[in-house]
Amino acid sequence: MKKSFKLIIIFTIIILFVMLVFFPHVSNFIGWYGYRKWQYRQGTDNIAESKKRNVFVRELNYKIVDSAGFKNIHFIPYLEKGFKYGKHSSEDTRIMSHTDFPYNISYERNLKDSLVLYFIENDLKKLDSSDAVWGYSKTPYLKDTLTLKIEGTNQGYGLIQIW
């Protein structure tokens, strides 16, 4: 009886050890290394983070046009150097140097607003490179005025010009 009780206690301790120590490390390993986040281009959500990572280049000018409902939204466009995360931490910043498009066109906005922002189709041709919602530049300045479309659930749609 005492042997079985000791085995149960030892078995319980081993299970608790595995659950508390081993599983979090496995989950972390699968989450970070499984997604390979260090391989993909990153961008910041605000100017403060961009400055903290030492990738901020400059703020861009903007004007909200064609919309009465979006006059008071928080929106600040800026240019930053393109970067990737370090292999072992998202806090590590690796500035991209071997790329044709070393600058990100980013913007700070109020994420609580249910707004969607994306470049209009004609302006995608003006960008040096782009994907669905981000633009990339060869130079640390914009060559032309770009237009973002704003879509909101209650406000309808509008346009933002950045230069």
Per-residue pLDDT tens digits for 71-129:
677 889 999 999 999 988 889 999 998 889 999 999 998 766 677 888 888 888 888 88
pLDDT tens digit sequence for 128-150: 888 766 889 999 999 889 998 88
Say how many C-beta atoms besides its own lie within 10 A of residue 43's C-beta. 16
Kindly state the tokens that stand for 13: 């301790």
Residues 9-29: what's their mean pLDDT? 80
Query: Do 145 and 70 fall into the same domain?
Result: yes
Q: What are phi and psi of 129, to 5 degrees?
A: -160, 155
Residues 4-12: what's their mean pLDDT? 85
Pairing of strands 115-119, 146-152: antiparallel
Asked whether 160 and 152 are in contact (CB, 8 A), the reply is: no
Query: Do 97 and 24 fall into the same domain?
Result: no
Range of the domain at 95: 41-162
Residues 28-52: what's their mean pLDDT? 86
Say how many C-beta atoms besides its own lie within 10 A of residue 90's C-beta. 11
pLDDT of 111 reads: 67
Query: Do 45 and 102 fall into the same domain?
Result: yes
Query: Do 82 and 5 fall into the same domain?
Result: no
Residue of 17 and 50 predicted with greater confidence: 50
pLDDT of 109 reads: 85
What DSSP letter does each residue of 4-34 carry, written as one string? Answer: HHHHHHHHHHHHHHIIIIIHHHHHHHHHHHH
Query: Do 6 and 57 fall into the same domain?
Result: no
70-73-79-85 Cα dihedral, nearest 10 degrees? -120
Kindly state the tokens that stand for 95: 């500035």
